Amino acid sequence: MPTWNFAAAWSAVAGVVPNREAIVCGDRRVTWGEFLDRSTRLSWYLAAQGLTAGDKVAIDLTNRPEYVEAFFAALLLGCVPVNVNYRYVVDEVHYVLDNADAKAVVAGPDQVKTAKRAAKRIQKPWRPHVLEVGEEYERALAGAVAPDREPHVPSGDDLIFLYTGGTTGMPKGVMWRNEDLYLGTWTVSRPNRPEPPDPVTAAEQGKRAGTLLPVAPLMHGTGLFVTLGALTGGGTIVLIDRAGLDPEAVWDAVEQERVATLTLVGDVFARPLLATLDANPGRWDLSSLRAITSSGVLFSPETKRGLLEHLTSLSIVDTLGASEGLGPSNTARATDDDIAPARFRISERIRVVDEHTGRDVTPGTDEVGIVAMGGHLPMGYYKDPEKTAATFKVLDGKRYSVPGDYATVDADGVVRLLGRGSASINTGGEKVYPDEVELVLRKHASVFDCVVLGVPDERFGEKVVALVQVTDGHYLDEPELKMWCRPKLAGYKTPRRFLFVDIIERSAAGKAPHAKLRAFAIERVAEIDGG
């Protein structure tokens, strides 16, 4: 294959197995031949709206076939697919469309009004063309005619944008070359096999690989990357077209479609799925399921253990990194003597370095460093050279992604992740990493979900506060949680306050609105301390 490009690979797969199912979504079943035909027609329609190679196509959809069709269509034109969070309001959608220089938006029925209002605010020589999925979309495909120009030749240099972040500032567009993302999604679980197979060979073997259900949204890197990899291997993806997580619908789909792999976003998705299995023992035939994966947000040992009790032949795979780079994987199985937090070792692809000097931290000490991941990496952030320079660094002549995860290194080379530095809490001069405290809290059987935050404190600068969602049917109070933490955490890391809430709000990608929750925590702590 002359270049690694998803559009080229998928076109080749469709030519070999046109009658195999590529996408299943409820009652809809799209074969590979139909997938190619519909995506090609959409590319013709977009070309008729004036789009050419290099233009940006925003996709504002839930997990449905048109998401992947729009992605494919953009690449066939040489355009750049751009993800939009389908829960964004007008201001947020406008920001992404404006920042990305989007020329077109493919939007769902529930998102189209917001997309149109956002597009009208664009103050450029153009306003993005908005295409609504449904009758308008189907008419567009039916009437599309091949443009009177030479078709784009897919290249490894063709770009894919993944907008990420927004919890500590506006989202940034991570720029991936097709070739880097293609090779990265292949090598993440095959570090010793750097060269992917020819897509025709992969297509001939893809049926044996089974099906993938990305429970994580396709607009999130975790869901998108595994979907791209599964399709490149000639496999089948199963989609659930709805906003939010419906655990029963997920297990129904696994049983009905004989799903082999689920992709989640850490405990935020896994814990409700596990709770549903606990409440319905034996309800589903899940014998087809072979793996559950997550990237960026890792599973807790307790969640892994619970899932493996239900699914003894399962592998649970954590992958380090996400949008800014794909790091190594860690696998847990029911046969493991000790199901511990995901462990990654120092290697050619992962280092822990002093954030000021770039020197590797000394293994076996308490020295805290920042994680640097090598391998296939993005080009940087669109229109943000400063953030690009801060995140992608050259160490000892090699380029690494340094997105901000802090860690220590054991004497045997095991990396112990502490959490993102941007979320760390400074209390009395000591740094507390919320991820470390949340991991301890989630080990308690009565803690369903939690978020650890820092709130202002006159004496210590900040104090550690935990918001806790209690497992249904359980009772929990503050003294019990303090006693639980005491032998497991240093005193300064133990939350000074535990605030119990009915539910912890999270985005479709599993992220908590930290600014909103911090404001709530500040108000509640003031009420308690003042009362």
The structural domains of the chain, with segments of one domain joined by +, span 6-18+28-188, 343-419, 428-530
Burial state string for 328-359 with b = 16 or more CB within 10 A and e = fewer than 16: bbbebebeeeebebbbbebeebbbbbebeebe
| Number of alpha carbons in the 13 Å side-chain half-sphere of residue 492 | 14
**What CA–CA distance (Å, rounded) separates 434 from 418?**
8
Q: What local confidence, expressed as pLDDT, does residue 114 receive?
A: 96
Residue 369, pLDDT above cutoff 80: yes
Strands 425-427 and 430-432 come out as: antiparallel
Residues 415-424, mean pLDDT to the nearest whole number = 76
The separation between CA 235 and the C-alpha centre of its own chain, rounded to angstroms, equals 20
If pLDDT is split at 50, 70 and 90, which confidence band does 325 have?
Answer: confident
Residue 188, pLDDT above cutoff 90: no
| Architecture of the domain delimited by 343-419 | Roll (2.30)
Residues 350-354, mean pLDDT to the nearest whole number = 93
Q: What local confidence, expressed as pLDDT, does residue 169 receive?
A: 58
The separation between CA 117 and the C-alpha centre of its own chain, rounded to angstroms, equals 27
The class that CATH gives domain 428-530 is alpha beta
Give the type of residue at 325: G
**What CA–CA distance (Å, rounded) separates 424 from 433?**
5
Q: What local confidence, expressed as pLDDT, does residue 74 receive?
A: 98
Q: What local confidence, expressed as pLDDT, does residue 40 receive?
A: 98
**What CA–CA distance (Å, rounded) separates 216 from 269?**
8
If pLDDT is split at 50, 70 and 90, which confidence band does 73 have?
Answer: very high
Q: Which residue has the higher pLDDT, 326 or 468?
A: 468
The chain-wide mean pLDDT, for the chain, equals: 90
If pLDDT is split at 50, 70 and 90, which confidence band does 231 have?
Answer: very high
Q: What local confidence, expressed as pLDDT, does residue 191 receive?
A: 60
Residue 207, pLDDT above cutoff 60: no
Residue 233, pLDDT above cutoff 90: no
Residue 530, pLDDT above cutoff 80: no
Q: What local confidence, expressed as pLDDT, does residue 422 receive?
A: 65
**In this predicted model, what pLDDT tens digit does every residue of 271-299 receive, in sequence order?**
899 999 999 999 999 999 999 998 877 78
CATH of 6-18+28-188, one of 3.40.50.12780, 3.30.70.260, 3.10.620.30, 3.60.20.30: 3.40.50.12780
Task: Look up the pTM and report it.
Answer: 0.86
Q: Show the DSSP H helices in 210-318 as ranges.
A: 221-232, 247-257, 266-279, 301-310
Least confident of 122-131, 147-156, 173-182, 454-463: 454-463
If pLDDT is split at 50, 70 and 90, which confidence band does 362 have?
Answer: very high
Residue 166, pLDDT above cutoff 70: no
Q: Which residue has the higher pLDDT, 225 or 506?
A: 225
Residues 372-376, mean pLDDT to the nearest whole number = 92
Residues 71-80, mean pLDDT to the nearest whole number = 98
- % of the chain with per-residue pLDDT over 70: 95
**In this predicted model, what pLDDT tens digit does every residue of 29-69 receive, in sequence order?**
999 999 999 999 999 999 999 999 999 999 999 999 999 99
Strands 259-263 and 291-295 come out as: parallel
Q: State which H helix or E strand residue 391 sits in.
A: helix 385-391
Least confident of 84-93, 161-170, 310-319, 436-445: 161-170
Residue 318, pLDDT above cutoff 70: yes
Q: Dihedral sign for Cα 350, 354, 359, 363, please.
A: negative
Residues 290-319, mean pLDDT to the nearest whole number = 88
- Give which of 206, 190, 163 is closest to 317, Cα–Cα: 190
Residues 238-244, mean pLDDT to the nearest whole number = 93
If pLDDT is split at 50, 70 and 90, which confidence band does 193 have?
Answer: low
Q: What local confidence, expressed as pLDDT, does residue 167 receive?
A: 42
Residue 507, pLDDT above cutoff 90: no
Q: What local confidence, expressed as pLDDT, does residue 168 receive?
A: 45
